[in-house]
Structure 1
């Protein structure tokens, strides 16, 4: 028996319409029309195997090697006379991992447009001092268990620190010299998004200064003219305007573009977000040149600029990869699978109790199954405990909310109020169809309707859908603004972090402990 979605179906005979405030108003149609045809699904996200090479190539590995050799050499010099090579190795093993973590957190393994070891020197000093203090503390705590190679004399400790920094600076300087030479010999193709004054100046600067290693192959902008005579004088005539944002996918693939520079002041500022998402999905490095120079000193959304990075005097912010392209996303999926498996085992008595209650209250068919739209617009079958039965298939697919439906019994109302009806979705998480945290999945009928009213609605499908989400912990469920939900969900995707998922799960648990209905 097909069952009704227990979160998003309205009372019988009512259909949702959007108000000017983005809220769904329930109205009674004269004749129920069939669902509108679903819009084309977004293209599946290309995976790493078919993406252009990221900026920098093997530079992060080279910098990591430089740091490791500097640590090992410095500890060996400080341990001269100790006569125990194992002690030297032990000290390096205590110092190097923390140094790598600190440098990585500070962006010191990310190649910039204008790399300079002098710019990095203060950060290298501070992180080396913290790592050395940690190694010294670890050595003293394990004193007697292993031969010590860390000098107790304060002057020798300073010597160790100075040797490590000196070798690190020399090594990094050599790496950056090689990088600048390679950039001149083999520049990477880059597209500029925005044909305004800033975009034209950026194109001219890249042509005049090959040390940045970026060769502009074209500009993406709906504007096809060069502007006024004064603007034409500052333009880069060798950089043609290739077309509007719709050409971005084609040009990235056709010209093997590895970098995209998004600039302010173009005619397509309103679609800059879509430009960023398209370029990121294609595996490009994305840079942002703001129209206000002071803006470069701050964060852009949740994307940080590398300190001191600039492109011929223009502040240039490197935008971080999309959520699913970050290394920590692997940890998210691992945590999802582990917690879902553990959850299914721990709450199995509760699941059995809920199933028995639904069976006694409403008869056979305790599990509700319904098609929902997930990652990249692909459909899957969501699972919930049934709280009521629909009149027919059409009602199950097209009705909005059932919180006041007279067919909702005591058991169904309790399950909805406590959110226990969502527990079977742990199986969806274990199967990889959902995540614990993400935008809530919706039925194809409503995805098509909402995407027509809110162009950013389909952007929610860039990541797997979730049992709970950023919008839900802010009270956006049931008859609430779809526009607000869309904005919250896309903000979650752009600002995603593991800690944010933890916060959402904690807030979800707190809301379950104080149920307030839906």
Structure 2
């Protein structure tokens, strides 16, 4: 076992050294390519050369802080790409700061600096993607694999092994299991399965297996301790993959909480970075939309005002993130009417309260345009679960599973449920349940690109729908 682990460490160290050298070379090559494109003068090239040398030194010092030289086996390639880009931005900003303190930034071509920054960032990203594509092809042929033995039972054990089998590029191979539940066997025939811990440990040592994954419920603390004690004197990586499917609502990631690791069972599914990213996009998109759609909104306002008595805008209290109440804006689509306190009557097909202009606005969702003001105010997002009337919230949170978790992020003008056809009247509990299921899917799987997909789908097919009336 010592031979295999030593060889693995040597290979990883060599790979890390080569990656660092490649990144430093790409910094220099990016600068040279920018100079070639712009044909900068000789005097300026001397100063630029000093700037490049400074950044090469900074890259050696700063890039390791972003964790890009550690093992990314089984981890997100796109997360690595983001770390690489942010690392390079940090290097470039530090280099510019030092040049500024030396009063040399005025002599550096801004166009060359931008070209160098973009070119190098592209080179660093492409090199990482090519490396991972190459490693993926190698691993699919059965080389550069890390052997894994899995401890567990039932569906969670099968799920972990299934993930290993379905992700050959990650470089893991399941070679043995310890079945902790007598009478059940993994759904993978041909995979050695043990019921005795000592026999399982002997197999791990004999086959020089590098990883042991504990796929167990959190209630099986005794089993976890027994496995830890068994391998206490071995150079084996032990990883705990707790089965919290029946407990966790969204994020199961381990977070640092006042210095100790904690697993989120029910908490906001979005990280602080994701919230900042979403907030910036929301404000920029809303401001752009309001400027671009100003003539359309002015025309709608005039049409609403001249065709029926009452205000142009309709306002109503809704609940937002963390249950905070805010006032939502819409173009008025109904005639003024008395409404019983505490009772909300949804619009139905052929509802006499809806004006002719209002029917068109509701069918095309143009009545929602003023909600971009709510987005600018920070009450709403462009994409998120649609906010319901407070009367509906009070009713459905008691009868619809998971309804309360819609409050964990800001409500949106459009959402995953809406582009999948779940909009309009919810006259049956089943309709609201399906809508909430789509909202929870969005919360569990949020990404910036999912938001972009929903925005595009809203523009292409979500503006007009037969359920909106």
Q: TM-score scaled by structure 2?
A: 0.51
Other-structure match for 1:87:
49
The answer to whether the Cα contact below 8 Å between 2:333 and 2:357 also exists between their aligned partners in 1 is yes
- The alpha carbon displacement at 1:471 in A equals 0.4
Cα distance in 2 for partners of 1:360, 1:375 equals 36
- Matched ranges for 1:3-18 at <5 A: none
Other-structure match for 1:491:
441
Structure 2 unmatched ranges of 5 or more: 1-12, 30-44, 86-111, 121-130, 132-214
The answer to whether the Cα contact below 8 Å between 1:261 and 1:287 also exists between their aligned partners in 2 is no
User: Cα deviation per residue 1:456-510 (whole Å; 9 max; x = unaligned)?
Assistant: 1111111110000000000001235111111111111111111111110011011
The answer to whether the Cα contact below 8 Å between 1:473 and 1:508 also exists between their aligned partners in 2 is yes
Match of 1:357, SS state, is helix
Alignment CA distance shift 1:71-1:194 (3 Å): same
- The alpha carbon displacement at 1:423 in A equals 0.5
Cα distance in 1 for partners of 2:342, 2:394 equals 16
In the TM superposition, structure 1's runs of 4+ consecutive aligned residues that sit over 6 Å from their partners are 66-69, 94-97, 100-104, 207-212, 279-284
The answer to whether the Cα contact below 8 Å between 2:335 and 2:355 also exists between their aligned partners in 1 is no
**Is 1:271 paired with 2:247?**
yes
Other-structure match for 1:416:
362
Cα distance in 2 for partners of 1:410, 1:67 equals 70
- Matched ranges for 1:384-399 at <5 A: 384-389=330-335, 391-394=337-340, 397-399=343-345
Cα distance in 2 for partners of 1:363, 1:447 equals 30
Other-structure match for 1:359:
305
Alignment CA distance shift 1:387-1:286 (3 Å): same
Cα distance in 2 for partners of 1:271, 1:368 equals 41
Other-structure match for 2:394:
448
Cα distance in 2 for partners of 1:101, 1:484 equals 46
Cα distance in 2 for partners of 1:426, 1:472 equals 17
Cα distance in 1 for partners of 2:228, 2:408 equals 32
- The alpha carbon displacement at 1:349 in A equals 1.7
Other-structure match for 1:201:
223
**Is 1:510 paired with 2:460?**
yes
Other-structure match for 1:383:
329
Aligned length: 298
Cα distance in 1 for partners of 2:325, 2:389 equals 9
**Is 1:427 paired with 2:373?**
yes
Alignment CA distance shift 1:196-1:74 (3 Å): same
The answer to whether the Cα contact below 8 Å between 1:280 and 1:322 also exists between their aligned partners in 2 is no
- The alpha carbon displacement at 1:398 in A equals 2.0
Cα distance in 2 for partners of 1:208, 1:499 equals 45
- The alpha carbon displacement at 1:85 in A equals 8.8
Alignment CA distance shift 1:335-1:69 (3 Å): same
Alignment CA distance shift 1:209-1:392 (3 Å): farther
Cα distance in 2 for partners of 1:328, 1:344 equals 24
Say which structure is richer in helix: 2
User: Cα deviation per residue 1:121-149 (whole Å; 9 max; x = unaligned)?
Assistant: xx9xx99xx99xxxxxxxxxx9xx99xxx
Alignment CA distance shift 1:370-1:203 (3 Å): farther
Other-structure match for 1:336:
282
Alignment CA distance shift 1:407-1:73 (3 Å): closer
Match of 2:329, SS state, is strand
User: Cα deviation per residue 1:425-478 (whole Å; 9 max; x = unaligned)?
Assistant: 010000000000000001222112211112311111111100000000000012
Alignment CA distance shift 1:457-1:399 (3 Å): same
Greater RCO (Cα-Cα under 8 Å, separation 6 or more): 1
Structure 1 unmatched ranges of 5 or more: 1-62, 110-115, 132-141, 151-160, 162-191, 213-259, 289-318
Match of 2:317, SS state, is strand
User: Cα deviation per residue 1:245-274 (whole Å; 9 max; x = unaligned)?
Assistant: xxxxxxxxxxxxxxx97723xxx7533337
Of 384, 388, 396, 1:438 maps to 384
- The alpha carbon displacement at 1:324 in A equals 2.9
Match of 2:397, SS state, is helix
Alignment CA distance shift 1:432-1:285 (3 Å): farther
The answer to whether the Cα contact below 8 Å between 1:380 and 1:433 also exists between their aligned partners in 2 is yes
Match of 1:398, SS state, is coil
Cα distance in 2 for partners of 1:418, 1:469 equals 15
Other-structure match for 2:270:
324
- The alpha carbon displacement at 1:286 in A equals 5.8
Other-structure match for 1:55:
none
Cα distance in 2 for partners of 1:281, 1:395 equals 47
Alignment CA distance shift 1:281-1:273 (3 Å): farther
Cα distance in 2 for partners of 1:494, 1:460 equals 11
